[in-house]
Chains A and B, each alone.
Chain A
């Protein structure tokens, strides 16, 4: 599904990602962990195609196609989708109007989908204006449900969310990643940033990676990596893996 080869990325004058290599197969969900400021969000924003993240070296292949030079909308139209950690507030633009714009000619029943994530009362509200942490995440999930991407990136889906909302969001993210289907029938893939690991209860992740100082330094079973980080912290985890 996604192949990243020797990717280096600048933000402003500074190189933030260095020589990243990552492959995520069809039907696989990978988890990305790492300390604050390590470059996790930068990687997701680069894959999505945001213009402030300048690729200086390497390639991004999506479904075998080189999307390195493509704009965000071209990547989205090919099936890349992202749940933002801190999406912007757009004054005046109603959530319902945005969903209609996203759905284009698709025939989704927006009010019915909104009810599933308890956002039906928010369709006439300005996007993200005055939304709580949980409401922002539910709005993001709703947008992805309508967009229906083949590759879903989730930037800390559980941050700022209470336990009840984590369950609701987690179940629906599981739906986006086809976790309700048998493993051999799953086609959708994901890359999820998490600090707490709560989301792992819902997404049945296949592989974990740890990012530090703009590099992916270790790989393995996501729950084992998380356990190690929780017990020993990132420093020891990375020292252990780099040996």
Chain B
């Protein structure tokens, strides 16, 4: 078992926030860890054979071939955020490499914690080489202070080689004064599998992200799942995109969105470029209090033989469903919470049980505070 992660100066409140973002500082159920507080790398280690967790700079020095991966999935000129991160002379972030045939049973955790700094930046590269299987939980959080403000710019590039698999479960626990703008993209080769899960149940000032998976290999698969609650003052512009470029490639984009007063823009785009590809996009939204859910599903087929579909629905809790549960003895609040819990209950095929439990735990916390 690994040594616990040392976090000098971190308050017990902030440790709790990290815990609720899925970070296990005791390292009881993790095989590796990367922790960055503001711009300081605090911890980077992994004891799983064949898997390395390295700070970005150290990794680039160690493996010159990483130059073939850095800024290849995400363009440094994409927008102001990527330009800002690409311009850093002292780049931060992490590199995780699952070498050929390796596999982790316990997940690796990565944590980007925003405390004092105005802007936190990170550039991450995650590679699963041929036949490797890599499971990562990424807990991003800010300190419990409110009113100071801050921004997180994170670039993540994923490379899933032939017959490899990456699951990346990201749980956000920001504050209502924090702006978050991740930019990420993945390239999935033959028979590769990429599972990307995103959970945000806590207040945030602004999130904007639109990760893209390009499926270049035959029979590759990408599945994006997002579960979000938007509270008053939160503006969440979320989306995911899949580009299907090889026969047998498929993608599934699933979102469950609830607003309790905040704004959610739920984007989704699947493009089928070759025959024999399939994609499905599903966005379901619940408006519990005044707020906005703006679903923008796009499916784009450019060839005979690509099968794409989408399903989007935004509504309120149905009275007959609540009263049905009340007729079984649950009071109105219990009935409402039970239905919302079911609405958010997205089981992700292929995700290790420990990570599914972590997602469920995040929803539990939201449920206990009355959604």
Contact = CB atoms under 8 A, between A and B. Distances in A.
B214 to A, nearest CB: 30
Nearest to A101: B338
A87 B318 CA distance: 12
B329 A102 contact: yes
A168 interface: no
B15 to A, nearest CB: 31
Given A73-B327, A101-B325, 17 more contacts: A49-B326, A50-B323, A50-B327, A51-B319, A73-B332, A82-B327, A88-B318, A88-B324, A90-B321, A90-B342, A92-B256, A92-B339, A92-B343, A93-B342, A94-B345, A97-B338, A98-B328
B329 A84 contact: no
B334 interface: yes
Interface string A71-87: 11100110001101001
A101 B334 contact: yes
Interface string B334-349: 1100110111111000
Interface of B: 256, 284, 318-321, 323-332, 334-335, 338-339, 341-346
Nearest to A144: B328
A14 to B, nearest CB: 19
A91 B324 contact: no
Contacts of B284: 91
B131 to A, nearest CB: 31
B244 to A, nearest CB: 27
Contact of B329 (A77, A92, A126): A77
A79 to B, nearest CB: 10
A143 B324 CA distance: 11
Given A88-B318, A98-B325, A93 B335 contact: no
A50 B335 CA distance: 14
Max count, chain A CB within 10 A of own CB: residue among B256, B326, B341:
B326
Chain B interface, >50% SS class: helix
Contacts of A68: none
B346 to A, nearest CB: 8
A87 B320 CA distance: 9
Contacts of A8: none
A194 interface: no
A97 B334 CA distance: 13
Given A88-B318, A88-B321, A97-B338, A73 B345 contact: no
A147 B328 contact: yes
Contact of A93 (B323, B327, B329, B338): B338
Contacts of B332: 71, 73
Interface in A56-115: 71-73, 76-77, 81-82, 84, 87-88, 90-94, 97-98, 101-102, 104
Contact of B326 (A73, A93, A94): A73
B314 to A, nearest CB: 13
Contact of B330 (A81, A94, A101): A101
A81 B324 CA distance: 11
A71 B342 contact: no
A229 interface: no
Nearest to B337: A101
A90 B346 CA distance: 14
A199 B335 CA distance: 31
Contacts of B321: 88, 90
Contacts of B335: 73
18 contacts: A51-B319, A52-B319, A73-B335, A76-B326, A82-B327, A84-B327, A88-B318, A88-B321, A88-B324, A91-B284, A92-B344, A93-B338, A93-B339, A93-B342, A101-B328, A101-B330, A101-B334, A102-B328
Counting chain A residues whose Cβ lies within 8 A of the other chain, the interface size class is 20 to 34
Contact of B327 (A48, A90, A104): A48
Interface string A165-202: 00000000000000000000000000000000000000
B338 A88 contact: no
Given A88-B318, A91-B284, A98-B338, A76 B327 contact: yes
Nearest to B331: A73
A128 B273 CA distance: 38
B343 A91 contact: yes
Across chains A and B, which 5 residue pairs bring their CB atoms closest together, nearest first? A93-B342, A92-B342, A76-B329, A72-B326, A73-B326
Contacts of A71: 326, 331-332
Contacts of A91: 284, 342-343
A43 B341 CA distance: 32
Contacts of B325: 98, 101
Nearest to A52: B319
Contacts of B324: 84, 87-88, 90
Contacts of B334: 101
B333 to A, nearest CB: 10
Contact of B341 (A72, A84, A97): A97
B319 A94 contact: no
Given A71-B326, A102-B329, A92 B319 contact: no
Contacts of B341: 93, 97
B336 to A, nearest CB: 12
Contacts of A143: 328
Contacts of B343: 91-93
A76 B332 CA distance: 12
Contact of A92 (B320, B326, B345): B345
A98 B321 CA distance: 12
B327 A72 contact: yes
Nearest to A82: B327
